[in-house]
Structure 1
Amino acid sequence: MGLFYLDVDIDKENKIMRDHNPYDWVKCEVTLPKMQLVTESFSPAARGFATGAFGLMGLAITSGVNQHYEHVSFKSYFKIAEKGIVILQGCDDGSDLRIPWDYILGASYVRENNELLLKITLLKHQTIKLYFPFFWNGNNQIHYCRGIARLINEKACGVSPEDEGW
């Protein structure tokens, strides 16, 4: 259907884009390229159970702390503005994260961990991933991500650092 009947897909995209206007605030889950240190440990109840069941060996097993780095992820709102893309309260200080069109190379939709994501590629090989959780139908989510990617790609004018000066 999509390969030979492109007008039908464009019509579906336009209908979904009217229902969930990306020029207004749209609820999404954001993953930024920035990394944060995550610390995990066992709860006191788990430690108590392990100590009671296995003695000192159980206490020793549950007393460690696991640390690893992962990308910063949070729930927020996203919109396409005249000068670029805005993510509501996307900065550490609580201000909006504003990405001008000059810093955006392009956008595409990808499937990761069985979720459809909008992947926005920025300069210096950075990517921002957006997931829109309000779609029950995967087909609608594909059309929505494709429509937003089309809108972003029409306006994105960033130049990759490797292409400058050649």
Structure 2
Amino acid sequence: MNTEQLPSFRDVLGHFASGVTVVTGTGEDGPVGFTCQSFSSLSLEPPQIIILPGRSSTTWPRIAAGGRFCVNILADHQDDISTTFATSGIDKFAGVAWTRSPSGLPRLDGTCAWLDCTVAAVHPGGDHLIVVGAVDDLGAALHARPLLFHRGLYAGMTGLQPQTAQ
């Protein structure tokens, strides 16, 4: 087998479509946040999620210091917000509409859903951290469609119909 022709690990993982979130919190100087594709549910009982911020993130330590964070699940029209919050060294909240969640965390307007969390645990995970969030509060828009990221591009979900309860 010629390994020079094999795709990279990153290229292979790019074939898995993921949702896009922005993780927000409150730092010493006000609201802070970063784009995070590495998000998943962990447990229904108790309700827990995981996020995986990069170890090199300068934003995550500012959020972690407060012990709480909000996961904003972006809607299909929010690719510009994803790009903004993925950029370092700028005021990420400039021009972005947001309100405070019930616990006072920044909650972005127009998202599909949001989850207010308390940091329950942090574990090492290679070049990332595995952060377990205990879900304290949450909400969702009824008809919003999520923003997806696939093979280096943003995508929306077309042609999907909401499922009805059986």
TM-score (normalizing by structure 1): 0.28
Kindly indicate which of the two structures has a greater share of residues assigned to helix.
Answer: 1
Higher-Rg member (1/2): 1
TM-score (normalizing by structure 2): 0.28
Q: Which has the higher contact order (CA 8 A, sep 6+)?
A: 2
